[in-house]
Amino acid sequence: MIKNEDLLPIGTVVLLQGGTKRIMIYGIKQLVQEGDNTIKMYDYCGVFYPEGNTDKDSHILFNHTDIKAVFYRGYEDDSRSEFIKLLDLSDETMDKALIEKIKE
């Protein structure tokens, strides 16, 4: 699993392994309830670039290891740095809380 400090920022545009269309990251540390009620975490959630969100099924979940190339690195500032620090401090606690929220 990737370290939180190595997560790409929101707005980053990437190409996935085996992909032909660029993806823009709009979410990190995504927890998803799978069909068999297991919870899976993905590093990122994205949409096709330049189209963006076209419907409720247009998002793509993927991990850092799925990325072949980075075309543009998204916006980073102090608030993002603080967010990453919070993720580092509370990974296990946050994951448990998010899992409980998904189950509600």
pLDDT digits (tens, 9 = 90+) for 38-67: 888 899 999 999 999 999 888 999 999 999
Question: 30 near 44, Cβ under 8 Å?
Answer: yes
Fold of 4-103: SH3 type barrels. (2.30.30)
> Using CA atoms, how far apart are residues 74 and 88, in angstroms rounded to an integer?
20
Res 47: pLDDT? 97
What is the reported pLDDT for 73?
97
Residue 18 has pLDDT above 70, yes or no: yes
The chain-wide mean pLDDT, for the chain, equals: 87
Q: pTM of this prediction?
A: 0.80
pLDDT for 30? 86
What residue ranges in 1-104 does DSSP mark as E strands? 13-16, 23-33, 39-48, 60-62, 67-72
Q: Over range 8-15, report the average pLDDT.
A: 97
